[in-house]
Amino acid sequence: MRHFLIVLIGALCVVSCARISPPSAAPDEVVEPGMVWLAAATGYAVTDGDALLVVRAYRAGAMASLGHNHVISSDFVTGNVYLGSAYTDSWFDLILPVSSLIVDDERIRADYGDEFSAPVPEDAKAGTKINMQSDRVLDATNWPVIRIRGFLADCVGAACTAQIAIDLGGTLSRHTIPLKLEQHDDRLLVRARFNILQSELGLSPFSVMMGALSVADELRFDLDLVAVAVTPDEPAAQ
């Protein structure tokens, strides 16, 4: 019985789901700024360790008590932010390696309170990461990075709305998210809190026993990053 429960716990994770194939736009259909615009903007670089992405997935179904809520995280977010004369003239391009995603880091779980206080077995964590990188889910062999691009559509003070495109496993999806953007000397501070459905990302939430044991479709994202201004002769982040 204990082994059965451990298997179920390992399965009940955001990344223990199957990939579906909704219609998606080709990556080159994402509107990107032209070179003239980029030359007039101030560039900021995001490097390893200057950002943290946390994704929370929640258990669901009548037998949810057999599973855990889960946290997937990465601090290997890199890329560039281009700030125009106004915040709404700004654009960004971020990437993170699928291999950098950590399953249920205990320090991060502790930051989210009682809902994430229950320990997750190490073998369940390891099995979940292997499954997450498989061709059934994120397909890390063929799509080793996740890319997030977008622009600021509206800002009132530091509170902004961004239009983003997420390229995950070859599926491109578009979303509107809120974020806060603050400028301090040569640094930009970005804080975003938003929810996206797994099905919108091209993933099918895990479900067994006619939904009695499942993962909720909604994922909760927390993104915090610091971008540092670069001079024109400095290379952009890769």
Token digits of residue 60: 């669901």
- 80-91 tens-digit pLDDT: 999 888 777 888
Token digits of residue 171: 């599926």
- 149-162 tens-digit pLDDT: 999 999 998 999 99
Q: Residues 95-103: what's their mean pLDDT?
A: 94
- Asked if 51 and 18 touch (Cβ cutoff 8 Å), the reply is no
- 49-60 tens-digit pLDDT: 899 999 998 865
pLDDT at residue 217, rounded to an integer: 82
Q: Residues 222-236: what's their mean pLDDT?
A: 81
2-229: CATH number: 2.40.128.110
Select from 54, 57, 55 the least CA-distant residue to 12. 57
Q: How far apart are CA 53 and CA 224, in angstroms?
A: 7
For the cut 60, the answer to whether the pLDDT of residue 70 exceeds it is: yes
CB atoms within 10 A of CB 26: 7
Q: What percent of the chain has pLDDT over 70?
A: 72
Q: What number of helices (H) and strands (E) belong to the chain?
A: 4, 14
- Asked if 19 and 204 touch (Cβ cutoff 8 Å), the reply is yes
Q: How far apart are CA 162 and CA 147, in angstroms?
A: 15
pTM, entire model? 0.79
pLDDT at residue 210, rounded to an integer: 46
**Cα-trace Rg, the chain:** 19
